Structure 1
């Protein structure tokens, strides 16, 4: 019998508690820096705390990647007990965490990092794939190899309601933010899963979210070839239930997914996009 395999992931995979429990996923949380204090993502700080700090004190959160030493200490007890570890990272274009994880894995051995080339539940979809393969008895090396072949099949994008947080964090100019506000534009932020998770602006929708969200959902689900109908995520940074239901209704109309998961994004993701951001994330067969 081969070694038992532990499944771990950066907390930014945003799976939600049910799926985390189903696949026995162990998270390592990112660091959130707010003012002079450091917090642990989704442990002692949640996204609504970040929004309140910005509205009340104009205090913008910063995020910090997990260090190589932290990963080493995280994995070591399992490796010492004879386990293999498969770990999924936030896309390496977005964070140094994967590089740090690889360094820790090289020193320890028996740890198999995967660059998800993605974020949020775009990574989470790959975590599910890893969990299924571990259940089937694959070794850590086999799971790593198969996941690396699946990375380009996991698709993530989000509709932003406002560019306020992007502008405050220096990720877009004041002119762009003002123009988007005046023209009622809702940009679609796309993740490039062929380029280690780099992000770019795709289609710019115009109008209220109630109009834009169904259009966006139809566009993204129709943009690829054959959908993998096992799982689809509706992941948001804090948005009304009515808008979630609107998107879920559109998803059900367009495709017969076996499971529709609604999850809320972690602080690390929410800190960059602000409230009322929502994405539809899924995999394709090829």
Structure 2
């Protein structure tokens, strides 16, 4: 019987409970403050990262997983006769995908590297579907084919509570940050073709922005698959709980809750809430 081992990276933001339940291993990205490097989700958690940002008044740098880390993660399983499937962060957003490809070429084994063309729990949904396919007895080639066919069906969007982190990261000017803060602008960011676009701006309370994001998602709710719906948040359980409650009123099926790790949180900032699902 074919032995398959499933990997993802820390930006998939799946909880430890979910990872353990589905036998998924994580190869983390790096979070760097000055001369200190941390493995995302292992050496540093989101609350500590936010505290360090406040203390240093600057964002950490983030870097893709180097090829050596992939080799170290994959090699023990290759030696035990496993085939590897790795599903990671969009190649449009990070060198991590290419580094995984480089690592796979240096190992004598069957390793499949899949570009999710997504981030956060948009990746997580694909990883969970891959785990389902493995449990159903599909070969590694069939699992990869099925997952790649789902890539374009993943919808991922999130509401940002503060523009400060976009400003610190150079993604908006000081004037935009000032005006946006004064007017209480809550951007809705959507993942499209592996990159991120500004989908909507809501002025006012954060809950209003969540409601607008949900309204847009539910415009064609008959096309939303009920088997994989995920709500993610960065230090905003209250907002995530509210979104989950509203989804449960409109959709049947299990809604998975999870928290964003450091790499994603360092770009979007605290209180962010995201929604991901598959279209039929």
Q: Is the 8 A contact 2:202 2:208 kept in 1?
A: no
C-alpha change, 1:30 and 1:284, in structure 2 (3 Å) is same
1:47–1:270 contact (8 Å) kept in structure 2: yes
Deviations 1:229-283 (A, max 9, x none): 0121110111142x22221121112211x21111100101001011010011111
Is the Cα–Cα contact under 8 Å of residues 90 and 119 in structure 1 kept in the other structure? Answer: yes
Task: Quote the Cα distance in structure 2 between the aligned partners of 1:127 and 1:136.
Answer: 14
CA-atom RMSD in angstroms: 1.4
Preserved CA contact (<8 Å) 2:27 2:69: no
Aligned to 1:18: 17
Shift of 1:106: 2.4
How far apart, CA to CA, are the structure 2 residues paired with 1:143 and 1:248?
A: 29
Normalised by the length of structure 2, the TM-score is 0.95
Contact in 1 for aligned 2:58/2:168 (Cα 8 Å): no
The answer to whether 1:261 aligns with 2:256 is yes
- 1:126-168 Cα offsets, whole Å, 9 max, x none, are 0011001111112222211111111011111110011101110
Matches of 1:29 and 1:223, distance apart in 2: 35
Q: Offset of 1:10 from its aligned partner?
A: 0.6
* Deviation (angstroms), 1:223: 5.1
Paired residues of 1:160 and 1:277 also in contact (CA < 8 A): yes
1:218/1:250 contact within 8 Å kept: no
User: How much does 1:179 deviate?
Assistant: 2.1
Deviation at 1:210, TM superposition (A): 2.3
Count of aligned residue pairs for this structure pair? 279
Which residue of the other structure, out of 216, 221, 224, is the alignment partner of 1:219? 216
Measure, in 1, the Cα distance between the counterparts of 2:197 and 2:207. Answer: 23
Look up the match of 1:251.
247
Partner residue, 2:41 = 42
Is 1:146 aligned to residue 146 of structure 2? yes
